Amino acid sequence: MMLKKKHRLTRYKMYQDIEKNLRKPMSGKILAISSPEGFSEMIDLKNSEITETSFPEVDCQNLPFEDNSFDYVISDQVLEHITMPEQAIKEALRVLKPNGIAIHTTCFMNYYHPSPIDYFRFSPDALKYLYHGYSRIIIGGWGNRLAIAICMLGDRFRAIPIPNHKYSLRNFIASYNKTRYPISTWSIAEK
């Protein structure tokens, strides 16, 4: 059985925080540079047109779309796999409509995972540095020492399902955040 990305240990809190920081559900024209599955509960599917692409087939550092084409650009765990992440952030800005939103998720404390190549890790400060020309930026990160230890046990443990009820030990581990130990990092930026 394939687990939804939203319910994995390393992404559970990240998706919750992104959803809380969005003013409303995503709608309109959405460019998804990777699977939008983790964002599915944040998208108003009735009022959206999703263009789903995949890196490296579509190079997010040189997007093949016109300026001001999309209301949202989302990339999920892509920035660490490209050679010029700052260029990808600029390209998202270029293809966004005025007041459009770019959402990028990535990692900081993570094992080597080539897909096809693994180049970078991003602290919240590094993500903030990449955003030039955006009017509003929200940066976040999630992690804690116990989650890092669990993640080092291997993919099977990273992918443990996280129940939504707060009295679960797994939910506590996936929700507890110590800013000094970010595993996952993310950004929401408005054009």
- The Cα 34–Cα 32 span in angstroms is 6
Tens of pLDDT along 31-79?
999 889 899 999 999 999 999 998 888 999 999 999 999 999 999 999 9
Look at the pTM and tell me if it is higher than 0.75: yes
The amino acid present at 10, given as its one-letter code, is: T
Structure tokens at 61: 């550092």
For the chain, the C-alpha Rg in angstroms (whole number) is 16
- The Cα 55–Cα 75 span in angstroms is 9
The pLDDT confidence band at residue 158, using thresholds 50, 70 and 90, is confident
The predicted structure's pLDDT at residue 2: 39
- The Cα 9–Cα 40 span in angstroms is 17
- Environment class of residue 66 by beta-carbon count within 10 Å: exposed (0-12), middle (13-18) or buried (19+)? exposed
Residue 3 predicted with pLDDT over 50: no
The predicted structure's pLDDT at residue 1: 30
- The Cα 162–Cα 172 span in angstroms is 9
Assign residue 70 a region (left: φ > 0; alpha: ψ between -120 and 50; beta: otherwise): beta
Tens of pLDDT along 95-137?
999 999 999 999 999 888 888 899 999 999 999 999 989 999 9
